[in-house]
Chains A and B, each alone.
Chain A
Amino acid sequence: MKFGVIVFPGSNCDHDCYHAAKHVFGHEASYVWHKETELKGLDCVIVPGGFSYGDYLRAGAVAKNSPVMEEVVRFASGGGLVIGICNGFQVLTEAGLLPGALMKNRDLKFICEDITLRVENDSSPFTSCYEEGEVVSMPIANADGNYYADQETLKMIEGEGRVAFRYSTPAGLITPEANPNGSVGNIAGVFNKEKNVLGLMPHPERAIEPELGPTGGLGVFESIIDIIS
């Protein structure tokens, strides 16, 4: 299968995503510069982390008006798999592909640490290789990871099973202490209605090689590869 990794000025996790797809999982991967207007032959689009356009104005705000984003929206509308990681999640909410918004972390700090997440829904193209309720570890690295949605939106997301991951204790409990950044409902990742778009703040692409730490991100890539192959 073929992954495409979108590159904005200021993206800095694009190489990690490319490395994951190509070298760790042995699939085809290519970079897609943000000025491109075609997404030909791709099975999955990765919108990577970083600081697109320096996060000026708001994280992800300027990137959403990049030429390639129109094509990403079209790709997603046609059922294509799109995953936004960290800044990529922010870009996808700004672009309207995912509900809610990412705000400044509760404690105003950039947080870079391994955290634990509970898998909330294992029936999606991104989570089918996990078990519902499974606790996995991945790193977070962000200053604007505080997920916000108003009550009505939240009710819809919860009702439609659109929460992919929640910050939890290692035992899988959803507590305020396990919430690193103030995200509403401890939400770390959400799907669109059709579940072919996922956005998450933790970095699955940095959690796939045991030499480097936790491997909780393996399931995300395995699930994508499983459904496409």
Chain B
Amino acid sequence: MKAKVHVTLRSGVLDPQGKAVHGSLSRAGYDFIKDIRIGKEIAIEMDDLPREEAEAKLTEICEKLLANTVMENFTIEIE
């Protein structure tokens, strides 16, 4: 089975990359954009597991390695 983990900075945490990209687009005239925040997508291929177990295991690895919950949030999408 496949899963996708999205890791984003927690709201309120300054995202200098997002700010730089936003600034670049604003300078290019795309002034309809209000805010940009950049995160990562982690694509995972894994053994087939019952959905609940997969969710629990993926949550565990997010907390253990994939995200730093001091500054990041994560969401898990099982395909």
Interface residues of A (CB under 8 A from B): 57-58, 61-62, 65, 93-94, 99-101, 103-108, 146, 148-150, 153, 182
- Sample 20 A-B pairs with CB under 8 A, ordered by A number: A57-B65, A58-B68, A61-B65, A62-B65, A93-B70, A94-B68, A99-B70, A101-B68, A103-B14, A103-B71, A105-B16, A106-B14, A106-B16, A107-B16, A108-B16, A148-B13, A148-B70, A149-B70, A150-B12, A182-B14
For B54, the chain A residues whose CB sits under 8 A away are none
For B12, the chain A residues whose CB sits under 8 A away are 150
For B66, the chain A residues whose CB sits under 8 A away are 57
For A103, the chain B residues whose CB sits under 8 A away are 9, 13-14, 16, 71
For B70, the chain A residues whose CB sits under 8 A away are 93, 99-101, 148-150, 153
**Cα(A106)–Cα(B18), bound, Å:** 11
Residues of A contacting B: mostly: loop
Interface residues of B (CB under 8 A from A): 9, 12-14, 16-17, 20, 64-66, 68, 70-71
Q: How far is the CB of B73 from chain A (nearest CB, A)?
A: 13
A61 touches B68 (CB 8 A): yes
Q: A101-B70, A149-B70 are in contact. Are A182 and B16 (CB under 8 A)?
A: yes
Q: How far is the CB of B58 from chain A (nearest CB, A)?
A: 15
**Cα(A93)–Cα(B69), bound, Å:** 11
For A100, the chain B residues whose CB sits under 8 A away are 70
**Cα(A110)–Cα(B59), bound, Å:** 32
Q: How far is the CB of B43 from chain A (nearest CB, A)?
A: 14
Chain B residue nearest to A184 (CB atoms) is B14
Chain A residue nearest to B67 (CB atoms) is A58
Given A57-B66, A101-B68, 19 further pairs, Cβ under 8 A = A61-B65, A65-B64, A93-B70, A100-B70, A101-B71, A103-B9, A103-B13, A103-B14, A103-B16, A103-B71, A104-B17, A105-B16, A106-B16, A108-B20, A148-B13, A150-B12, A153-B70, A182-B14, A182-B16
**Cα(A104)–Cα(B65), bound, Å:** 18
Q: A101-B71, A149-B70 are in contact. Are A65 and B65 (CB under 8 A)?
A: yes
**Cα(A150)–Cα(B69), bound, Å:** 11
For A61, the chain B residues whose CB sits under 8 A away are 65, 68
For B71, the chain A residues whose CB sits under 8 A away are 101, 103, 148
For A148, the chain B residues whose CB sits under 8 A away are 13, 70-71
For B68, the chain A residues whose CB sits under 8 A away are 58, 61, 94, 101
**Cα(A127)–Cα(B21), bound, Å:** 41
For A94, the chain B residues whose CB sits under 8 A away are 68
